[in-house]
């Protein structure tokens, strides 16, 4: 990147679950199986569900990393609750995506 001038730098956008996250435009984008580009606003029902899943997946990863440090017996319960919530949100996302 040293050879690229500051105004020519390329922003690499974050991705999650097949969606590209464009914080500047407050949009999610995804190419579907028919090569159609799907645009979803952050504040739409689908956008909110995708971010909910993103948060839950982050919590899941945190729990996985912290398993050995937990001194209580709630780890498995907490972990299973997160997995169940992820499944619920995935069902919502799949339903909303099918309506696009």
Distance separating alpha carbons of residues 62 and 80, to the nearest angstrom? 13
List the pLDDT tens digit at each of the 100 positions of the chain.
455 566 666 778 999 999 999 999 999 999 988 999 999 999 999 999 999 999 999 999 998 888 887 777 788 888 999 999 999 999 999 999 999 8
At residue 68, the pLDDT reads 80
Residues with Cβ within 8 Å of 63's Cβ and at least 6 positions away in sequence, in order, are: 75, 78, 79, 82
Of 28, 25, 80, which Cα lies nearest the Cα of 54?
28
- Domain map (residue ranges) of the chain: 6-98
At residue 85, the pLDDT reads 96
At residue 12, the pLDDT reads 87
Distance separating alpha carbons of residues 60 and 67, to the nearest angstrom? 11
At residue 90, the pLDDT reads 96
Strand order in the sheet with 14-16: 14-16, 19-22, 27-31, 37-41
Q: How many helices (H) and strands (E) does the chain have?
A: 2, 4
At residue 7, the pLDDT reads 62
At residue 92, the pLDDT reads 96
């Amino acid at each position: 990147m040293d050879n690229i001038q500051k105004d020519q730098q390329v922003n690499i956008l974050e991705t999650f679950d097949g969606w590209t996250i464009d914080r500047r435009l407050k949009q999610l984008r995804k190419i579907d199986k028919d090569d159609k580009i799907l645009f979803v606003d952050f504040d739409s029902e689908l956008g909110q569900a995708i971010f909910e899943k993103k948060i839950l997946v982050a919590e899941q990863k945190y729990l996985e990393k912290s398993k050995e440090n937990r001194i209580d017996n709630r780890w498995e319960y907490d972990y299973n609750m997160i997995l169940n919530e992820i499944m619920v949100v995935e069902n919502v996302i799949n339903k909303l995506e099918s309506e696009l």
